[in-house]
Structure 1
Amino acid sequence: MDGNRRYARSKNKLVKHGHSDGFLALKRVLAICFRLNVKCVSTYGFAIDNFKRSPEEVEALMDLIEEKLLEICEHGDLLEQYGVRLNVVGNTALFPERVRAAAHKAEAISRHNDKAILNLCMPYASSDEMTTAVQSAIRNGLAAGEYRDITVDDIDSQLMTTLGGSPPLDVLIRTSGVKRLSDFLLWQCCENTQLQFSPTYWPDFGLWDFLPMLLDYQRKAWAA
């Protein structure tokens, strides 16, 4: 979901307002996805590298994340309407305690939902996820008294998305005209994943940006 800051500057808004508008765009796009019966959506909500931004911007983002997670707890209409289970995927130990508590509460209220999955990846980095998965695979092998090579399947089974029940990744979309993956779902998109790039800043992203990507995916999937 790239382009919040550039969107804000283009509208002469504060950066924090760009992030707020980005959350509105997320809610809008999620409604489209779940109405179209998409079974799993993973969003890059906050990168581990984002902690390197100015203290003011990081604090504003922590406030916004906490606010929106608590809003989900109080008014989880979208999750309940479509039976969506929420997973907060990432190194949550890096969050302030107040944000961790909000994340755990939001996950708990949707745990009974089983029709679709929403992965909020934050604070996330694919390199961190893969490192953690390798460490877990080694620990599991040692605990079982097994001394063997770690396999692809061993690592895959310990990925945060796998542990959360996510299916394989079909389409990865990046907005704002930037064409790089920026340490997002690198393991998951290494096979049979279509990459789509949009020039639109994330807060402006909507149905008419999204629909051609879905149709392109469908066309390629049917032709395969």
Structure 2
Amino acid sequence: MSWIREGDLSILERFCASVIKAGPMPKHIAFIMDGNRRYAKKNKVKKLEGHSQGFAKLAQTLQWCLSLGIQEVTVYAFSIENFKRSQDEVDGLMELARQKFTHLLEEKDNLKKHGVCVRILGDLTLLPQDIQELVARVELTTRHYNTCFLNICIAYTSRQEISNAVKELAWGVEEGLLQPSDVSEPLIDKCLYSSKSPHPDILIRTSGEVRLSDFLLWQTSHACLVFQSVLWPEYSFWNLWDAILQYQMNYKALQKARDVYMEEREWQQLEADKAYVTEKLKQKGLAPHGDPHKRRTLLQECRAKREERIQGFLQALDCKRMNFLEKLSTVSA
């Protein structure tokens, strides 16, 4: 089955889509696609068939999102914790991933037509070697497309993602690219697997569970959280429509929370910069609260040098990641 499905909404769906699009629309939606195994049990089929039906629903949901003008979707496909499941189920899921990523590469003309950039988020080294190679080829093939974005979280947990970001920062300091004082929330954000994406506006979890299961904990701090009882393979356009409606009903409160957070973050950075300037003045034997012009000049120099270091570090980090993918993609070439 195709990842990018062609098709139109029904007349009623188109009408309701036009109504909801009159309000503020999310640009990025994240899904915890939960309920595949319960769907299989409910319908008396094998677990792997439940997961296969879950993939079919993902393809249909991507079609709905495209129809609604939602430019980015992130899905929780496979958690690091899922490796603890039975070996038969894990092997089956890896085989399903192998088939779907192979098919995704076969669809490269369709991906190019729709401008779909596919990113795989997670610790790729935990995956079988051949799947690592497939994933790398998918990312490299689509990396320049920018009409819409599909982020697939596989071998992923948020805590591991944050830990990895901290390790990347430590590497930057060890390499002399950063100073410890450069480390900040915005810089950690740029070291996450999801660094190229805006934070999700909505996080949807199906199946009735009301927990995040270690998914996008950093990125969803100001997202609209929507928990729906429907099993993922039974998800419908109307479930998506309802989630967007909930987002719109809470839009003002969400925006206010984000604005307050941004203001606090800017204030904290300003205070840190002032403390840095004061220390520099003391080191030079000058009065900490002396010449305002000298303080402003030092503050500007501090920010310019920090920005230069950060940009150099981020370029090196991007190059490091790209080299990793390119090396993987050529293993079986």
Secondary structure of the 1:160 match is coil
Tell me the residue number matched to 2:199.
Answer: 168
1:150 aligned to which of 183, 186, 204: 183
Tell me the residue number matched to 2:250.
Answer: 220
1:188 aligns with 2:189: no
1:45 aligns with 2:77: yes
Secondary structure of the 1:187 match is coil
Tell me the residue number matched to 2:24.
Answer: none
Aligned pairs for 1:52-67 within 5 A: 52-67=84-99
C-alpha displacement at 1:218, in angstroms?
2.4
Cα distance in 2 for residues equivalent to 1:151 and 1:92: 26
Secondary structure of the 1:2 match is coil
1:28 aligns with 2:53: no
Cα distance in 2 for residues equivalent to 1:83 and 1:222: 32
1:206 aligned to which of 230, 236, 259: 236
Kindly, what percent of the aligned residue pairs are identical? Answer: 37
Provide, for residues 29-85 of structure 1, a one-character-per-residue CA deviation record: whole Å limited to 9, x for no partner: 011112212121110000001000011000000000010011111124663343110
> How many aligned residue pairs are there?
221
Provide, for residues 81-101 of structure 1, a one-character-per-residue CA deviation record: whole Å limited to 9, x for no partner: 431100010001000011111
Q: Which amino acid aligns with 1:48?
A: I
**CA RMSD for the aligned pairs?**
1.6
Aligned pairs for 1:95-114 within 5 A: 95-114=127-146
Q: Which amino acid aligns with 2:112?
A: E
Provide, for residues 137-187 of structure 1, a one-character-per-residue CA deviation record: whole Å limited to 9, x for no partner: 12213322624373212211101101xx11121100000000000000000
Secondary structure of the 1:46 match is strand
Tell me the residue number matched to 1:9.
Answer: 41
How high is the TM-score relative to the length of structure 1? 0.93
Tell me the residue number matched to 2:100.
Answer: 68
Change (3 A) 1:77 1:43: farther
Cα distance in 2 for residues equivalent to 1:145 and 1:69: 37
2:210 aligned to which of 163, 179, 183: 179
Q: Do 1:34 and 1:82's aligned partners in 2 also have CA atoms closer than 8 Å?
A: no
C-alpha displacement at 1:221, in angstroms?
2.0
Runs of 4+ that moved beyond 4 A? none
Higher relative contact order (CA 8 A, sep 6+): 1
Cα distance in 1 for residues equivalent to 2:56 and 2:194: 24
Larger Rg: 2
Q: Which amino acid aligns with 1:138?
A: A
Secondary structure of the 2:78 match is coil
Change (3 A) 1:201 1:78: farther
Cα distance in 2 for residues equivalent to 1:93 and 1:159: 16
Q: Which amino acid aligns with 1:73?
A: L
Gaps of 5+ in 1: none
Q: Which amino acid aligns with 1:128?
A: Q
Tell me the residue number matched to 1:136.
Answer: 168
Cα distance in 2 for residues equivalent to 1:78 and 1:179: 36
Q: Do 1:93 and 1:100's aligned partners in 2 also have CA atoms closer than 8 Å?
A: yes
Tell me the residue number matched to 1:88.
Answer: 120
